Structure 1
Amino acid sequence: MEVVWNTRYNTGIQIIDEQHQELFATVDRLRSSVQSGADRTEIETLLATLVSHSERHFATEEAFMARFGYPDLTQHVAEHASMLTSLHELHNKFRESHHTLALMIPTFMEGWLKHHISDGDFGFVTFLKSRNLA
């Protein structure tokens, strides 16, 4: 099953949307690699890419939110920090028991991305629109 970007996740902020699409594509590549039985090194590389893309994306979102004085910034940053902690833990655990965990990570990430964009990121978009900033 593919992890597919859907236009319902468009925020209207180009860089944010591009990074969301990149995250979905990375999760999909990871899922495909795991399902096709890719070697441990390939999966490890994709996990590292996912961590890196997530860190960069969260920093981008947080900078936008801080710039516009988003009132829920603290909560949003906490969600990002929690996600990064979980992602780093999963990456570290992958090194111990790679196959079983590798199967879980794409499902975990896909669910988190969909929920976070729909519930968290759209709160920021609504905030921007209410102030005619987007």
Structure 2
Amino acid sequence: MAIKWTEDLSTGIEKIDDQHKELFRRVNDLMDACTKGKGKEEVVKVIDFLSNYVVMHFGEEEKIMKAENYPGYDGHKTQHESFIKKFTEFKEKLEQTGPTVDLVVKMNGFLVDWLINHIKKTDRALGDYLKR
């Protein structure tokens, strides 16, 4: 089941929203591959993509927060660090065991849950602050 971008996920920051939409596309590619029995191959592509993309994306968000003296910066940055830690665990597991079905399923669930919850709560709060 694909995750869909909806306007209630919009932060109002075009650059950030576009990056979130790209993340949704990549996670959907992974989920689609899993339903077609190609998840093991696709997980490697997604992990490679995310390794670079999240660093760039989180950096963009953090740069905006610093520039605007966002009071929620520390908590937001902590969430980014938590994601990177968990993601690194997935990456290490992939290197140790290869892309097992279990790994694909767990990573899928983590990515979907994190994206929806982080964007709806944390990133939207940043967007609301910047609109003031």
Query: Structure 2 length normalisation: TM-score?
Result: 0.90
2:71 partner SS: coil
**Matching residue of 1:111:** 113
Contact 2:39 2:104 in 1 (8 A): no
Let me know the Cα RMSD of the aligned residues: 1.5
Q: Where does structure 1 lack aligned partners over 5 or more consecutive residues?
A: none
Contact 1:94 1:102 in 2 (8 A): no
Contact 2:27 2:111 in 1 (8 A): yes
Residue identity matched to 1:118: K
**Matching residue of 1:120:** 122
Residue identity matched to 1:124: L
The separation in 2 between residues aligned to 1:32 and 1:94, in whole angstroms, is 19
Contact 1:11 1:122 in 2 (8 A): yes
Shift in alpha-carbon separation, 1:31–1:39, aligned structure 2, 3 A? closer
State the shift of 1:39 in Å: 6.4
Q: Quick check: 1:85 aligned with 2:85?
A: yes
2:3 partner SS: coil
The separation in 1 between residues aligned to 2:39 and 2:6, in whole angstroms, is 29
Q: How many pairs align?
A: 130
State the shift of 1:27 in Å: 0.6
Shift in alpha-carbon separation, 1:91–1:111, aligned structure 2, 3 A? same
- Relative contact order: is structure 1 or structure 2 higher (C-alpha 8 Å, sep ≥ 6)? 2
**Matching residue of 2:11:** 11
Partner deviation per Cα, 1:9-58 (whole Å, 9 max, x = no partner): 11111100000000111111011112211164432122211232222111
Shift in alpha-carbon separation, 1:129–1:39, aligned structure 2, 3 A? closer
The separation in 2 between residues aligned to 1:58 and 1:39, in whole angstroms, is 26
The separation in 2 between residues aligned to 1:49 and 1:26, in whole angstroms, is 8
Shift in alpha-carbon separation, 1:100–1:123, aligned structure 2, 3 A? same
How much identity, in percent, do the aligned residues show?
29
Residue identity matched to 2:42: E
Contact 1:11 1:121 in 2 (8 A): yes
Q: Map 1:1-134 onto structure 2 (within 5 A).
A: 1-38=1-38, 40-95=40-95, 96=97, 98-130=100-132
